[in-house]
Amino acid sequence: MGTMVTMSEDRRAEGQLEESPWNKASGAFTAWRAGDATAVDELVSTMTPVLWHVVRAYGHDREAAGDVIQATWLGFVRLHQTIQDPQAVASWLITSARRGAAAHARTARRADPVEDEALAAALPDEESAETVVVLDDEASRLWGAVATVDERCRKLLRVIAFMDRPDYQSLSQELDMPVGSIGPTRARCLAKVRTALTTGGER
């Protein structure tokens, strides 16, 4: 576990996580509403990568994920006036992206979602070739561990990892889980990842 902690601290030291995307998003949103037309670009730049991970958690291929994210932004342009609290803009976007991703999963059941995500890093296609290079030992170990847990766990963990304040009420509806079980399920899923890390380490 010690090395993994170092991994995130290293990255923080590089300054990538100095300001959380959620704070940056609400700052940009406030500025945009106040008439700074360019601030919306910053909001989009800040939140698009976050939405990417949230939508990919639902197993959509890269193209479909892009479409879901675009639909999320168009909905935002249409409905942003209904967002009362600027602090809530990140949650609003994430919730909207999750709904879009869940709806898309219901209507387009084509490629096996689990396979798509699992294969993305495992297979040396054009996109993941560079991915494999970037993954350091710790990240590869984590990836391997996550790949061994069930799809439901993987989805839950990926969504929660990119959420500011997990909104368990709506999460429970989309993941078809009772609200009260999300906390324990998350703990159980994390425990599974830990176990897989330990087992993998002994090999």
Partner 1 sequence: MTTGDTRLLDDLRDMWQLADPPPPGLTSRMIAAVAAADLDQEWELLVLVRDSADEPAAQVRGLGTARMLYFNATEGWSLEAEIDGDQVRGQVLDLDDLSGVEVTLETAAGQSWTTAIDEVGFFSIQAEATGSVRFTVRRGEAVASSRWVEL
Asked whether position 186 contacts partner 1 by CB under 8 A, the answer is yes
CA atoms of 43 and 32, how far apart (whole Å): 9
State the minimum distance, in angstroms, from the CB of residue 160 to partner 1.
7
Smallest gap from residue 69 Cβ to partner 1 (A): 6
- 7-36 residues in contact with partner 1 (CB under 8 A) are 7-8, 11, 30-31, 33-36
Of 21, 20, 23, 43, the closest CA to residue 32 belongs to 43
| DSSP 8-class letter at 182 | H
d(CA 187, CA 194): 10
Query: How would you label 182-201 residue by residue, b for 16+ Cβ within 10 Å and e otherwise?
Result: beebbeebeebbeebbeeee
Residue with smaller CB distance to partner 1, 60 or 95: 60
Distances in whole angstroms, Cα of residue 134 to Cα of each of 103, 127, 141, 143: 32, 12, 13, 12
Give the Cα separation of 40 and 46 in Å (integer): 10
Give the Å distances, CA to CA, from 171 to 44, 54, 104, 184: 23, 12, 16, 14
Query: Which of the residues 46 through 85 are near partner 1 (CB under 8 A)?
Result: 48-49, 52-53, 56, 62, 66, 69-70, 73-74, 76-78
Residue nearer to partner 1 on the CB measure, 173 or 195: 195
Map residues 101-140 to x or -, x wherever contact with partner 1 holds by CB under 8 A: ----------------x--xx-----x---x--xxx-xx-
User: By the criterion CB under 8 A, which residues form the site for partner 1?
Assistant: 1, 4-5, 7-8, 11, 30-31, 33-36, 40-41, 44-45, 48-49, 52-53, 56, 62, 66, 69-70, 73-74, 76-78, 117, 120-121, 127, 131, 134-136, 138-139, 142-143, 146, 157-158, 160-162, 183, 186-187, 190, 193-194
